């Protein structure tokens, strides 16, 4: 409860800064190199602080009941949860590169402790190692990035000094370092490999916080770097937009293969992060070309989707966690019939599924509408390759939207409808108030963001002016963007009002419940749950047609021997294909080469003393030769 209260308290100044556009700052002396201890709050950090604070409060309340029946070692993860929330807040208020890196590393280590919080889970240990390696690769890139920036600013590590000194640096290489360092945390393709592993292994309230809030800090880092470096190269916009579209397509195509409920939601996060990257790419493209309307449109699409994704993905992970908590499994092939046993959780999951699919009357539709407008605006105004690329981008975005709808239909249909495939699903039941209240709050947040998109766009004007500059984020461009989404809010409000008023009327007109009878069994004498569609059969055509063979799931079938075989085995491997095809061979090759050096490590103290003696003699020899041969 203290986490929830503290998170809500942090949200109060964030709302003030976002509404007023003011900036709060505090500078104190400290003994660490790199300048003063500088913290502050501006519209950009306030924008990201609000979903971090809200989700921290909601997931903390949810975790009270979710962790009530887990073994005691897993409940000891609460200090790591507190450290994760503190690390995220410090990242957002840090105005000194040293403090920023310390907070970033603390946030990463706390998330690793939560992912690997179950000592008896081999999956958790593997996911923890993958996340730890990925996080430290990103941290190494950030250390190099900030070292270059601090050196250019005269060894002053405050963001103000870095902003003044970055003008003389080559922006392209710094952006690449930033993309690697922040892109790992944001789950940008191909740095996404930790995300499905960690989200599946972590407790569900932690998965909701990581997907809805923590990965957004990678996007915050990208935007903060863009503000510090100033005008971006002309190629930054198309490159980021193309990377975002590729990530969105690959993420949702891989989500369609997964039989693990939480892994499917994790790959859906990769898709949505790709859509946000697409919006940021359109904003950079418009800013570089002096097109203020496109710049504001793309940035507002990205910002709207950041808030929307925090609400709807938090909702989906918490609803999935309620199912896992009640049924004892994340395997889609063992679920089924959960809607009848958990109607409230099922209804909230359906609401989140409609939102994440980008369908009206929920919030995911508004940001995707702005993305379509931005792409079609480029296609109509540009010529040559840019026009073709914009039309192809719009077509690929439509494909991604269709696949997202198919993915959510698959999750709802297999997990919540039909008949239970396992005893755990048959015994599922609703959670208590601590688990249901967060679901209701996040569902209302999705509805509010769908009904009030123009209000949100006007609220985010200070963020647009800080990121794009007053010359691009003009009042006219902001007003045009708000007008573009205002009809969507009116349609959503009318739809929800009709549902609220029409549902009681329809219930009264129906009268008594209709008679219930068994569904026609298609001529089978004894139909069973095994005769239902499986998760793989539902998405088999998508998985095999939309991905290259190297990225498709591996299928293993044991050979049939004899006219009456005793057994036949059929299995699929839904692991990440990029990890399987690229990272694992590379790291395995490196590990095998370094393993040859184990011959030097014999555990013999005399041998180690010999190594020390040889190293000292070699150093003395080099010193004497260097003094003689070199001036």
3-state secondary structure 387-405: HHHHHHHHHHHHHHHHHHH
Q: Evaluate whether 203 touches 117 at the Cβ level (below 8 Å).
A: yes
Question: What pLDDT, on the 0 to 100 scale, is given for residue 471?
Answer: 78
pLDDT, the chain, mean: 85
How far apart, in whole angstroms, are the C-alpha atoms of residue 27 and residue 278?
36
Q: What is the pLDDT of residue 223?
A: 93
**429-446 in b/e burial notation, b at 16+ Cβ within 10 A?**
eebeeebbebbebbbebb
pLDDT tens column, 107-143: 999 999 898 877 667 777 888 888 998 899 999 999 9
Quote the pLDDT of residue 266.
Answer: 93
pLDDT at 277 over 90: yes
Cα separation, 160 vs 493, in Å, equals 43
The length of the chain is 631
pLDDT, greater one: 584 or 288 = 288
For residues 475 and 248, give the distance between their C-alpha atoms in angstroms, rounded to a whole number. Answer: 31
Residue 536 has pLDDT above 60, yes or no: yes
- Across 132-146, 544-558, 616-630, the highest mean pLDDT is recorded for 132-146
Average pLDDT over residues 141-162: 82
Token pair 């003699």 in the structure block, residue:
617
Q: Let me know: does 216 contact 306? Beta carbons within 8 Å.
A: yes
Distance in angstroms (rounded) separating the CA atoms of residues 402 and 383 = 28
Query: Using one digit for the tens of pLDDT, what is the confidence trace for 376-402?
Result: 888 887 777 888 888 999 999 999 999
Per-residue confidence (pLDDT) for residue 629, from 0 to 100: 62
Q: What is the dihedral of CA 394, 399, 401, 403, to 10 degrees?
A: -170
Q: Which DSSP helix (H) or strand (E) runs through 72?
A: helix 72-75
What residues are paired with 331 via a beta bridge? 260
What is the band of 318 on the pLDDT scale with cuts at 50, 70, 90? very high
| Other Cβ atoms within 10 Å of 168 Cβ, number | 8
Dist CA 468 CA 487 (whole Å): 26
Residue 276 has pLDDT above 90, yes or no: yes
Q: Is the pLDDT of residue 75 over 60?
A: no
Q: How confident is the model at residue 463 (pLDDT cuts 50, 70, 90)?
A: very high
SS (H, E, C) 2-24: HHHHHHHHHHHHHHHHHHHCCCE
Task: Indicate the pLDDT class of residue 436, thresholds 50, 70 and 90.
Answer: very high
Residue 628: pLDDT band (50, 70, 90) is low
Least confident of 26-30, 291-295, 483-487: 26-30
Please tell me whether residue 235 adopts helix, strand or coil conformation.
coil
Looking at residues 175-193, what average pLDDT do you find? Answer: 89
Per-residue CA distances from 60 to 6, 53, 203, 421 (Å): 11, 11, 12, 32
With b for 16 or more beta-carbon neighbours within 10 A and e for fewer, the 195-219 pattern comes to bbbbbbbbbbbbbbbbbbbbbbbbb
Distances (CA, A) of 603 to 175, 460, 596, 598, 599: 45, 62, 16, 10, 10
Of 9-18, 217-226, 245-254, 306-315, the one with minimum mean pLDDT is: 9-18
Does residue 85 carry a pLDDT above 80?
A: yes
Q: Is the pLDDT of residue 411 over 70?
A: yes
pLDDT of the residue at 588: 79
Contact 77, 198 (CB under 8 A): no
Say if residues 301 and 279 touch (Cβ distance below 8 Å): yes
pLDDT at residue 412 is higher than 70: yes
| For the chain, percent of residues with pLDDT exceeding 70 | 93
- Under DSSP, the state recorded for 41 is E
Supply the DSSP symbol for 513: P
For the ranges 281-285, 344-348, 478-482, 525-529, which has the lowest average pLDDT? 525-529
Mean pLDDT lowest among 75-89, 292-306, 446-460:
75-89
Q: To which residue do tokens 């989700």 refer?
A: 55
Instruction: Over range 207-230, report the average pLDDT.
Output: 92
**What per-residue confidence (pLDDT) applies to 74?**
55
Residue 253's alpha-carbon distances to 210, 219, 267, 459, 489, in angstroms, are: 22, 23, 9, 35, 30
| Span 359-364, average pLDDT | 90
Instruction: In whole angstroms, give the CA distance from residue 308 to residue 485.
Output: 14
Extract the tokens encoding 597. Answer: 């050096």
Confidence of residue 1 (pLDDT cuts 50, 70, 90): low
Q: What is the pLDDT of residue 511?
A: 62
Please enumerate in sequence order all residues whose Cβ is within 8 A of that of 132, keeping only pairs 6 or more positions apart, or say none: 108, 112
* Whole-angstrom distance, CA of residue 521 vs CA of residue 527: 6
Q: Which two tokens stand for residue 111?
A: 């998330």
Q: Are 352 and 554 in contact (CB under 8 A)?
A: no
Residue 480: pLDDT over 70: yes
Spatial neighbors of 509 by CB under 8 A, at least 6 apart, are none
Residue 423 has pLDDT above 90, yes or no: no
pLDDT at 56: 92
Q: What is the pLDDT of residue 244?
A: 93
The sign of the dihedral angle between the CA atoms of 241, 100, 170, 176 is negative
Round to whole Å and give the CA distance between 156 and 173. 21
Q: Is 92 left (phi over 0), alpha (psi -120 to 50) or beta?
A: alpha
Q: Does position 577 have pLDDT exceeding 80, yes or no?
A: no
DSSP 3-state of 112: helix
Which phi and psi angles does 41 have, rounded to 5°?
A: -140, 120
């Amino acid at each position: 409860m203290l986490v929830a209260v503290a998170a809500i308290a942090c949200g109060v100044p964030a709302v003030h800064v976002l509404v007023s556009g003011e900036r709060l700052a505090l500078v104190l002396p400290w003994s660490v190199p790199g300048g003063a201890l500088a913290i502050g709050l501006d519209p950009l950090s306030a924008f990201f602080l609000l979903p971090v604070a809200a989700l921290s409060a909601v997931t903390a309340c949810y975790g009270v009941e979710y962790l009530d029946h887990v073994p005691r070692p897993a409940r000891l993860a609460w200090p790591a949860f507190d450290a994760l929330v503190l690390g995220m807040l410090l990242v957002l208020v840090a105005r000194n590169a040293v403090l920023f890196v310390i907070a970033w590393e603390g946030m990463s280590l706390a998330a690793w402790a939560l992912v690997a919080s179950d000592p008896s889970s081999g999956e958790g240990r593997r996911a923890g190692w993958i996340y730890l390696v990925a996080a430290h690769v990103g941290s190494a890139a950030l250390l190099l990035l900030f070292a270059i920036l601090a050196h250019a600013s005269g060894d002053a590590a405050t963001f103000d000094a870095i902003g003044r000194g970055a003008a003389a640096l080559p922006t392209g290489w710094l952006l690449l370092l930033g993309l690697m360092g922040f892109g790992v945390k944001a789950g940008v393709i191909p740095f996404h490999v930790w995300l499905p592993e960690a989200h599946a292994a972590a407790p569900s309230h932690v998965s909701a916080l990581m997907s809805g809030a923590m990965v957004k800090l990678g996007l915050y880092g990208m935007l903060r770097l863009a503000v510090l470096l100033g005008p971006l190269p002309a190629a930054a916009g198309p490159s980021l937009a193309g990377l975002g579209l590729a990530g969105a397509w690959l993420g949702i195509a891989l989500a369609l293969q997964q039989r693990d409920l939480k892994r499917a939601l994790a790959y859906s996060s990769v898709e949505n992060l790709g859509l946000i990257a697409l919006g940021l790419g359109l904003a950079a493209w418009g800013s570089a070309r002096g097109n203020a309307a496109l710049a504001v449109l793309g940035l507002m699409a990205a910002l709207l989707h950041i808030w929307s994704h925090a609400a709807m993905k938090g909702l989906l992970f918490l609803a999935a966690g309620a199912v896992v908590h009640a049924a004892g499994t994340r395997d889609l092939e063992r679920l089924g019939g959960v809607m009848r046993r958990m109607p409230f959780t099922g209804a909230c999951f359906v609401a989140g599924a409609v939102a994440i699919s980008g369908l009206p009357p929920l919030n995911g539709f508004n940001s995707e509408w702005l993305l379509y407008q931005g792409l079609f605006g480029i296609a109509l105004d540009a010529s040559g390759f840019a026009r073709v690329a914009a039309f192809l981008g719009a077509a690929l975005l439509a494909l991604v939207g269709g696949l997202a709808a198919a993915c959510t239909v698959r999750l709802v249909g297999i997990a919540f409808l039909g008949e239970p495939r396992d005893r755990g699903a048959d015994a599922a039941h609703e959670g208590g108030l601590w688990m249901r209240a967060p679901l209701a709050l996040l569902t209302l947040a999705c509805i509010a963001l769908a009904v009030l998109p123009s209000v949100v766009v006007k609220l985010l004007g200070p963020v647009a002016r800080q990121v794009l500059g007053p010359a691009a984020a003009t009042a006219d461009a902001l007003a045009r963007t708000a007008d573009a989404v205002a009809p969507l809010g009116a349609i959503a409000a009318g739809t929800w009002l009709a549902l609220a008023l029409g549902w009681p009327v329809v219930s009264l007109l129906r009268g008594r419940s209709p008679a219930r009878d068994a569904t026609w069994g298609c001529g089978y004498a004894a139909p069973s749950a095994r005769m239902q569609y499986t998760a793989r059969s539902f998405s088999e055509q998508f998985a095999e047609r939309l991905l290259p063979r190297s990225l498709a799931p591996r299928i293993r079938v044991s050979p049939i021997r004899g006219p009456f075989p005793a057994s036949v085995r059929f299995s699929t491997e839904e692991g990440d294909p990029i990890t399987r095809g690229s990272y694992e061979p590379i790291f395995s090759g490196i590990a095998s080469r370094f393993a040859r050096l184990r011959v030097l490590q014999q555990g013999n103290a005399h041998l180690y003393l010999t190594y020390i003696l040889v190293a000292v003699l070699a150093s003395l020899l080099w010193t004497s030769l260097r003094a003689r041969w070199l001036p």
